[in-house]
Structure 1
Amino acid sequence: MHSLSYSRFGKPAEVLQVSDQPQPEPGAGEVRLSMRLSPIHNHDLLTISGQYGYKPELPALSGSEGMGVVDALGEGVEGLAVGQRVAASGLKGAWSNFAIARAASVVPLPDAISDEVGAQLIAMPLSALTLLEFTGIAEGQWLIQNAANGAVAKVVSQLARPRGIHVINLVRRQDAVAELTELGIDNVVATSNDGWKDRVREITAGQPIAVGVDGVGGTASGDLLSLLGEGGQLISFGVMSGQPMQISSGDVIFKQAVVKGFWLAKLMTTMEPERMRRLVSELVTRAASGEMRLQTDGIYTMKDAAAAMTAAAESGRKGKVLLSLQD
């Protein structure tokens, strides 16, 4: 079979190559998937460049999520059938013709969910849903997030609405406001505009902001913290700026603020199976009903991997870049 692999860490567009690999066989409790589509996530790019929270042994296969068709069942697998259309996350080597998944983590896809949505149904949406619960934010409270046109932030806004949680969405560019409005996301503020913090205070009508979700780092972290109410939480979720968080000691002290880090991969190691099933079930239901919309911004073949990696790393995208995994 063909896979995208790399033998050294570096820029994904430069180090990834199509390689021949033996077709994997499912073990007990596993299934083999004939892969169809897979998204390119930021954590995939960081892993390939050697900058993520862990480094795989080299040479390594790439890709962590996708959708496909069940091709073979391992010993003891029940509730799944060969030919069934499914999504899976936590994969090692998703950017391949075939990949192995734990049967317990495979999510059957209803007909109402397209292949493109199914391919990106779990990782980013599950991060968003888990993040909301991680903060403990309650109905009627306010949350503010930067990088609001990112994949996770868009889903946070869409999932917060039915929970009665109010969200302020910060973007850098004025043209991104219309992009989010098209998805039905409101309270969007462009930080490139003068007086944008006053606009935030106007939207909340003076009510305290309980949670700030920071996907940028640098001075943007301090901007969020300055807008939180007393006892507010600042959640570090990403570092798009590439800069360390710059926050005011005074804001931390006098607001009695709490600063936390959020990493879904770590939380999933202790997440109860019942809770995981509940979260994933909600994602499937909301995607099938159209309440949660996931956008795609281009589909590339494995042979065009360099162009795909370059496109995925560009700012201003409206959705995920996907890889088509059948030759």
Structure 2
Amino acid sequence: MRALIHRQFGSPAHELHVEEVPDPVAGPGEVVVRMTASAIHNHDLLTVSGDYGFTPSLPARAGTEATGVVESLGEGVTNLAVGQRVAGGAFGAWSEKFVARAAGLVPVPDVLDDDTAAQLVSMPASALALLNAIGASEGEWIAQNAAGGTVGRLVAQFAQSRGVNVVGLVRRRDGIAELADAGIGRIAATNEDGWRERVAEITGGAAIVHGVDSVGGPATGDMLSILADGAHLTLFGGMGSWQFEGSMNDIIFRGITIDGFWGSKVLPALTPDERTALFGEVIAKAVSGDITLAVEQRFALADIAAAVESHDRRGRTGKVLLTP
């Protein structure tokens, strides 16, 4: 079968190539899935470049989330059946077939197409788990940057269904109109003068007690500047920089606390009941349309360089998918 492989760390567009590899075999508790679509996430590309929290042994495969059809079952697997549509995480998903833990896959209802199913788990589950970890109550205000990204859109949509208020920050004014087209409002563009005043206008002067920073660099300081005294800031990602800049005054004198969130640690730590509840809510809201998972473009595995270019394009509003 064919799979994307990289033999050294570096630019994904340059280092990833399709190679012929042996067909996978499911071990105990595992299944082989024939991939039909797989999403490109930021962390996938960072892993290939060697800049993520997980460093695979080389030569390495790539990709972490896909949807497909169960082709074979390993010993002891009783929760899935051959021919069943599934979605979920599995390292090496950018291949015609991949092996995954049966317990880590989610059955996909027929009403959901592959475009949605291919990105059903990683970003929606992380967004909902992040919202749960923040613990915002109905009526409270959250501020988040990278509001136009997949997680930013999902946090806003999940929060809306729970009665939690979200003000989003984008880095350009065009992002406001793009989000409005997706039904997401309450957005301020930080490249405009007076954006902090615009945030206060959106919230009606209410205290912003939770913040989510997915950008890093000076954007962290911008986020701290609009949070209330005693607020809580969660670092989610580093789309702009893996270093963050802020004032010690905000921590020492204003009592703002900072922590980090990494879905790769949080999601596996969920109890079976918590996992069932979380993915049940994700699927229900995807079916109802309360959350939307847009697709920008689709590329074959062999066109990975063009796919990476599309993923990195400024102003992208949906996921880039790979197909066999």
Counterpart CA distance in 2 for 1:236 and 1:259 is 7
Q: Which residue pairs with 1:209 in the alignment?
A: 208
Counterpart CA distance in 1 for 2:53 and 2:21 is 26
Report which stretch shifted further, 247-256 or 120-129: 247-256
SS in 1 for 2:155: helix
Alpha-carbon offset, residue 255 of structure 1: 1.8
2:225 aligned with 1:235, yes or no?
no
Counterpart CA distance in 1 for 2:11 and 2:79 is 40
Q: Which residue pairs with 1:222 in the alignment?
A: 221
Q: Which residue pairs with 1:317 in the alignment?
A: 316
Q: Which residue pairs with 2:42 in the alignment?
A: 42
RMSD, matched Cα: 1.0
SS in 2 for 1:265: helix
Alpha-carbon offset, residue 64 of structure 1: 0.4
The 5 Å alignment of 1:6-45 reads 6-45=6-45
2:68 aligned with 1:98, yes or no?
no
For residues 247-295 of structure 1, give each alpha carbon's deviation from its aligned partner in whole angstroms, at most 9, with x where no partner exists: 1111112221101111111223422121111101110111011111001
Amino acid at match of 1:160: A
Counterpart CA distance in 1 for 2:42 and 2:313 is 11
Report which stretch shifted further, 101-110 or 10-19: 101-110
Does the CA contact (< 8 Å) of 2:37 and 2:118 recur in 1? yes
* TM-score, structure 1 normalization: 0.97
Q: Which residue pairs with 1:305 in the alignment?
A: 304
Alpha-carbon offset, residue 79 of structure 1: 2.8
Q: Which residue pairs with 1:170 in the alignment?
A: 169
- Identify unmatched segments of 5+ residues in structure 1: none
For residues 35-81 of structure 1, give each alpha carbon's deviation from its aligned partner in whole angstroms, at most 9, with x where no partner exists: 01001100000000000012100000111001000101111111321
SS in 2 for 1:144: strand
Percentage of pairs with the same residue: 48
Q: Which residue pairs with 2:199 in the alignment?
A: 200
Counterpart CA distance in 2 for 1:322 and 1:4 is 14
Counterpart CA distance in 1 for 2:177 and 2:95 is 36
Does the CA contact (< 8 Å) of 2:129 and 2:267 recur in 1? no
Report which stretch shifted further, 197-206 or 63-72: 197-206
- Identify unmatched segments of 5+ residues in structure 2: none
Distance 1:272 1:112, change over 3 A: same
SS in 2 for 1:53: coil
Counterpart CA distance in 2 for 1:264 and 1:297 is 24
Counterpart CA distance in 2 for 1:114 and 1:180 is 23
SS in 1 for 2:5: strand
Alpha-carbon offset, residue 176 of structure 1: 1.0
Amino acid at match of 2:185: D
SS in 2 for 1:211: strand
Does the CA contact (< 8 Å) of 2:44 and 2:62 recur in 1? yes
